[in-house]
Amino acid sequence: MVNVVFGSMRMNKVYVLISFSLLTISAVDVEKYASEKDWQNGDIVFQDSESSQSKAIKLATGSDFSHCGIVMNINDERMVLEAVQPVKVTPIDEWFARGTDGKYTMKRLKNSEILTEKVGTKMWQIGESFIGKNYDIFFDWGDDRLYCSELVWKIYKRGAGIEVDARKKRKEYNLNSQEVKDQLNLRYGADIPLDHEMISPQDIFECDLLE
């Protein structure tokens, strides 16, 4: 039995309890939230790593971080639903430890009144449907494979009807550095789909609907 705190509803032998408080808090650092553990379902967390892909993502998007996930309370344990290989839920402390120096940043929806019991339940259903799917190294826009910010965007869009920032064409990012060019060549060779739309962690971080 899986308990995800968002309201109270029983579905297919899975108890989904999803609830959001009305508290809104700005992006914070690890020391405050690791100690206070003041997490809400739907919080979006961002972190960095030392991989070559991470460096390229940061250069292309002008960001300090390269990965993001969405917080869920499952069976009274805070977890991060994330698109890695494969899409999965990760205990929040384990998720923190994976990032560079254990650092992360959190953002939260400003108008949390939108996240009703019904909406929260749907968000979990959407997220749960992606668990086990492969990570998308090509950053395409489909449901057979997903990358991290795509997962977060789709959970909010399909579960709450909220677009956490607009998608961009790949050519709108900074593709000029050698590190970025190397990663693009590794994935696409000479045929880079520059007009394909995508969403980056930085795009979501800068969304006006979050704080």
Give residue 96's Cα distance to chain centre: 14
DSSP string covering 56-112: HHHHHHT-S--EEEEEEEETTEEEEEEESSSEEEEEHHHHHHHSGGG--EEE-BS-G
Give the predicted TM-score (pTM) of the model. 0.84
Neighbour-count burial of 201, counting CB atoms closer than 10 A to its CB (0-12 exposed, 13-18 middle, 19+ buried): buried
Model pLDDT, residue 106 = 95
**CB environment 77-88: b (16+ within 10 A), e (fewer):** ebbbbbbbeebb
More confident residue, 35 or 37: 37
Model pLDDT, residue 208 = 96
Would you say 63 and 200 are in contact if contact means Cβ atoms under 8 Å apart? yes
* Of the candidate ranges 55-69, 82-96, 116-130, the one whose mean pLDDT is the lowest: 116-130
Strands 44-47 and 105-107: antiparallel
Token readout for 168 is 């961009």
For the chain, domains (ranges, CATH) are: 9-205 (3.90.1720.10)
User: Residue 5 gets which letter from DSSP?
Assistant: -
Compute the distance between CA of residue 120 and CA of residue 78 in angstroms, rounded to an integer. Answer: 15
Token readout for 121 is 């339940």
User: Residue 143 gets which letter from DSSP?
Assistant: S
pLDDT in tens, 132-157: 999 999 999 999 999 999 999 999 99
**Average pLDDT, integer, range 94-108:** 92
Model pLDDT, residue 110 = 94
Per-chain mean pLDDT for the chain: 85
Sign of CA dihedral 78, 68, 108, 103: positive
DSSP string covering 153-169: HHHHHHHHS--SS--EE
Neighbour-count burial of 157, counting CB atoms closer than 10 A to its CB (0-12 exposed, 13-18 middle, 19+ buried): middle
* Of the candidate ranges 46-50, 126-130, 200-204, the one whose mean pLDDT is the lowest: 46-50
Neighbour-count burial of 23, counting CB atoms closer than 10 A to its CB (0-12 exposed, 13-18 middle, 19+ buried): exposed
